[in-house]
A = this chain, B = another copy of it.
Amino acid sequence: MGIQERKEREKQQRKEKIIQAAEKVFFSKGFDRSTMDDIAELAELSKGTLYLYFKSKEDLRLAVAHKAILLLNSVTEGIKTMKENALEKLLSMGRACIEFSNNYPNQMKSIMFLEGFELLQVSLSAREIKEVIYRDSPVGMVVQIVEQGVREQLIRDDIPPTVIAHTLWMQFLSIVQFVTMKPAFLEMLDLSPSSVYESHFELVINGIKS
């Protein structure tokens, strides 16, 4: 009864707490430089306890990434069913992602990290990557919107929608990365993050119009 449920809930909370600690550590020091000790200390748990919830550091990395992707999806989900046309939807989605990036910077870094560079240096099988990372990747939604845009004759049809969508997504991630990871450059160039984002959208939307 209630007691069972409470226990289960506490277990989930603890798991969540570990994931949150791992997020912070992974994205302040990088995955390889993070230690299970760091995470345990931040989670206010013993190192041994971590292994009660996650079978390895790699497993924890995966959990961190998956959670971030699900969170981002929950934020962008509503856009799918909106009455907007494809170009407006892409813009909405971009802005939603940026808002997400402001609200949950660690999670955004996590997504970039896992969709990004280090992927092939990781000891994940291709199956695991697809299952865990890409099954729920936001890029899927981008593909759908681009396909809608081609049907609406708003988006050029001379390039396959999947290519356009992946290109857009990668470009978007790169801009977020730029803004997030190199604030010093923005200052140097006397630019605000939002102006960079809007310029980016302006450029790419312009680029894909039919």
Contacts and interface: CB of A to CB of B under 8 A. Distances in A.
Given A167-B200, A170-B175, A196-B167, A29 B121 contact: yes
Instruction: Give the oligomeric copy count.
Output: 4
Interface string A177-210: 1100110110001010001100110111111110
A87 to B, nearest CB: 13
Contacts of A116: 116-117, 177, 181
B166 A189 contact: yes
A166 B181 contact: no
A126 interface: yes
A120 interface: yes
A1 interface: no
Contact of A203 (B126, B164, B191): B164
Interface of A: 28-30, 32-33, 112-113, 116-121, 126, 129, 159-160, 162-164, 166-167, 170-171, 173-175, 177-178, 181-182, 184-185, 189, 191, 195-196, 199-200, 202-209
